[in-house]
């Protein structure tokens, strides 16, 4: 595994950085203050992302191109997973909330790519899909989902409530996680594509949040919501031995992307803090022991080392997915490390810059607020540590809680 940026992905990174610098940064504060107002400036980016997909060869790039490749038949490759992570890092260097609001780049698109049949992928091509997992009684433990799906003739009937749905009010469709039989546990959990406006599905609330205010976060009620039979992603067969690995494969693809969000916002905070301190005559000198340096210098160097660790774990998890290597453990490791690093770095940068860092004169305080969600959604820090421990120790969820 080479650690240099692949030449084939330089254009993707450059384009994403230009978007972050010239589109996201100038409107970042505007939509932080105007929560729930749709950022119209993002409409143009949908076409740009489509262009990136078209220019990414047969693998594409972006959330809707994420997938686990099979084996090494074509040699070591850097595909859609690496491309998406590198692009997301740059976009979140600009603004995490805006990155989450780009049309057709919802987490539901990753679920469709991971689980859908070839026919479904073609049918839902171009659809902006949110993903609804969390419920009032089922937060970090997805196996406790209580939303039900019942087959009635040629239609599925969904009933339940979903909360904290990113892009839940703006997306064209929502991928709903529901159970076919509560008595069969996680093996009966499947995912269903529900188009926006389907009778029986209603956005009942938009949440006000500490950060990522440019992104809408919705609560959705499902009351006898009927969808076509073939809107079930994957098969309706319940395999109690296999569990719900099909729908969970989505996380193996998306957790490195969430790690990339943390890497991006943390890098933004580090670079801007270094710039602000430089204006006050504090330059970072890398030669010599830390004990010989100013406290601020030493702290920046330590934070940069932690940031690099998170970045490398993210790259490894993405590389494994592109090359057909099972990456569930590494995906959780990357998400856990990068998210914690992002929280610690952004908050510490606010502290190092004092009143300037805490005020709205700079974006540091916003990045600190935005970074917290990265440690929460897609599985909290605690859940990631549990997943990692189970994998390393060979324990099932019933044996290690």
Domains of the chain: 7-121 (1.10.540.10), 128-233 (2.40.110.10), 245-393 (1.20.140.10)
| Burial call 75-98: b when 16+ CB within 10 Å, e when fewer | eebbbbbbbbbbbbbbbbbbbbbb
> Is 378 an active-site residue?
yes
CA angle, 243 then 244 then 246, to 5°:
125
- What's the pTM value of the predicted model, to 2 decimals? 0.90
- Listed range (168-177, 223-232, 320-329) with the worst mean pLDDT: 320-329
pLDDT of 110 reads 86
Residue that wins the pLDDT comparison between 48 and 126: 126
How far, rounded to the nearest angstrom, does the alpha carbon of residue 139 sit from its chain's CA centroid?
17
Mean pLDDT across the stretch 50-76?
Answer: 55
Mean pLDDT across the stretch 122-127?
Answer: 91
In the predicted structure, residue 65 carries a pLDDT above the cut 60 = no
The set of residues, in sequence order, having a beta carbon less than 8 Å from that of 373 and lying 6+ positions away, is 96, 209, 210, 211, 212
Q: State what percent of residues in the chain have pLDDT above 90.
A: 67
| Tokens read off for 182 | 């509560």
**Rounded Cα distance, 311 and 12, in Å:** 17
The overall average pLDDT reported for the chain is 89
3-class SS of residue 86: helix
pLDDT of 183 reads 86
pLDDT tens digits, 294-320: 899 999 999 999 999 999 999 999 999
User: Contact at 8 Å (CB) between 185 and 142?
Assistant: no
Residue 52 pLDDT level (bands cut at 50, 70, 90): low
Winning range, highest mean pLDDT, from 117-126, 280-289, 339-348: 339-348
Residue that wins the pLDDT comparison between 129 and 397: 129
In the predicted structure, residue 135 carries a pLDDT above the cut 60 = yes
pLDDT of 59 reads 46
pLDDT of 78 reads 83
Choose among 194, 183, 197: nearest CA to 155.
194
Mean pLDDT across the stretch 224-249?
Answer: 78
**Rounded Cα distance, 64 and 20, in Å:** 20
pLDDT of 67 reads 59
Mean pLDDT across the stretch 41-66?
Answer: 63
Residue 231 pLDDT level (bands cut at 50, 70, 90): very high
In the predicted structure, residue 58 carries a pLDDT above the cut 80 = no
């Amino acid at each position: 595994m080479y650690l240099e940026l692949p030449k084939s992905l330089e254009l993707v990174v450059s384009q994403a950085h230009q978007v972050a610098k010239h589109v996201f940064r100038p409107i970042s504060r505007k939509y932080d203050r105007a929560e729930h107002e749709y950022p119209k400036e993002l409409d143009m980016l949908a076409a740009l992302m489509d262009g990136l997909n078209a220019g990414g060869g047969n693998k594409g790039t972006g959330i809707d191109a994420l997938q686990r490749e099979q084996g090494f038949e074509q040699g070591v490759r850097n595909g859609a997973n690496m491309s998406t992570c590198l692009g997301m890092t740059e976009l979140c260097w600009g603004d995490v909330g805006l990155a989450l609001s780009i049309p057709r780049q919802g987490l539901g698109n990753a679920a469709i790519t991971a689980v859908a049949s070839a026919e479904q992928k073609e049918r839902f091509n171009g659809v902006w899909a949110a993903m609804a997992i969390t419920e009032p009684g089922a937060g970090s433990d997805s196996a406790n989902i209580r939303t039900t799906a019942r087959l009635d003739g040629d239609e599925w009937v969904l009933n339940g409530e979903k909360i904290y749905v990113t892009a839940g009010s703006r997306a064209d469709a929502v991928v709903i996680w529901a159970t076919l039989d509560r008595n069969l546990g996680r093996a009966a959990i499947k995912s269903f594509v529900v188009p926006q406006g389907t009778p029986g599905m209603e956005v009942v609330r938009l949440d006000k949040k500490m950060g990522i205010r440019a992104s809408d976060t919705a609560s959705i009620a499902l009351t006898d919501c009927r969808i076509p039979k073939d809107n079930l992603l994957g098969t309706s067969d319940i395999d109690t031995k296999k569990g719900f690995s099909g729908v969970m494969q989505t996380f193996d693809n998306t957790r490195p992307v969430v790690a990339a969000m943390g890497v991006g916002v943390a890098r933004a905070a580090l670079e801007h803090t270094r710039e602000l301190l430089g204006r006050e005559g504090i330059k970072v000198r890398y030669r010599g022991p830390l004990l010989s340096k100013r406290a601020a210098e030493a702290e920046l160097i330590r934070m940069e080392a932690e940031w690099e660790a998170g970045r490398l774990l993210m790259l490894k998890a993405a590389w494994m997915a592109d090359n057909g290597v099972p990456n569930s453990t590494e995906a959780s490791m990357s998400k856990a490390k990068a998210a914690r690093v992002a929280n610690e770095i952004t908050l510490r940068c606010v502290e190092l810059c004092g009143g300037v860092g805490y005020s709205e004169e700079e974006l540091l305080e916003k990045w600190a607020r935005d970074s917290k969600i990265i440690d929460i959604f897609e599985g909290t820090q605690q859940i990631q540590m549990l997943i990692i421990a189970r994998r390393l120790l060979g324990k099932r969820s019933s044996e290690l809680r």
